[in-house]
Amino acid sequence: MTQSLPSIGFLGLGAMGQRMAARLLSAGHRVTVWNRSAGATANLAALGALTAPDPASAAREADIVIAMVRDDDASRQVWLASGTGAMAAMRPGAIAVECSTLSVDAARHLADEAAKAGLGWLDAPVAGSRPQAEAGQLVFMVGGAETVLSEARATLGAMGSAVHHAGGAGAGSAVKLAVNALLAVQVTALAELLGLLARNGVDLATGVSIVGETPVASPALRAAAASMLAGAFAPLFPVELVEKDLNYADRAAGGLAPLTQAAGAVMRSTMEAGWANAHITAAAQLYRANAQDPTVDR
């Protein structure tokens, strides 16, 4: 006899959540969705999702509840808010999965609350942006018990190409913050160095092509360079979210992360320059005065 798929409650339908929930629907899951702005549920309802007025209602009948929201505060509200929070409504033995990028402390606090409620817990943030979410190619970094992950692995697999167990509660969040900090350090360094090249008369496309063929250039760095040269800053990873994650990473490092702190300062300067909602690569705009290159004009 074929075993039925777990029923899903999905909380948070931003750019990523919309696409992740759609993947679960296409895989055959029964999905109940909630979003703070109710209008965001319309597209998923048209695909067959049920809609709920609050997180508790979305979670009540679900085997697995997944959240994908902005930050620690939003996560705390959807899981723990009095009267509407998902955890208090979930049935014992159900699994809470937090896919948002949170601070390590917040992830561990929620894990403790889940344990008190008799729930399974996974912090399972993702690597990838909108195209990967739409294609089901996200990479999950998971913290929590292996036994709980074994129950949820197939569900995560419907949204991603890889599911990595990082360790106990909070480990997934720690690894995700490390990934985002490493990306931000590379991108901010590249933005600065494009200014250096242009200021010294090097054609930017030529200089970037040469650097891109050397062992120091990662795939992420090459993609960032292409974005900067094209002046294409569609918000796949918006500056204001990068800055939030760098703050969390610095906190997780106990303040002993000077490169992370420096990248955070660049992100804040980029926000102050009016690029808060642009892609992380908009940091290149800070060096326009040095570059004097039309491809990085606003």
* Catalytic residue IDs: 176
Q: Which residues lie below 8 Å from residue 20, measured CB to CB, with a gap of 6+?
A: 10, 66, 68, 99, 133, 138, 159
- The closest of 273, 272, 268 to 245, measured between CA atoms, is 268
CA of residue 59 relative to chain centroid, distance: 22
Round to whole Å and give the CA distance between 135 and 132: 5
Q: How many CA atoms lie less than 13 Å away from 182 in the CB half-sphere?
A: 10
- The closest of 101, 114, 103, 172 to 143, measured between CA atoms, is 172
- Bridge partners of 160, per DSSP, are 138
Amino acid at 161: S
Q: DSSP for 32-43, please give it.
A: EEE-SSGGGGHH
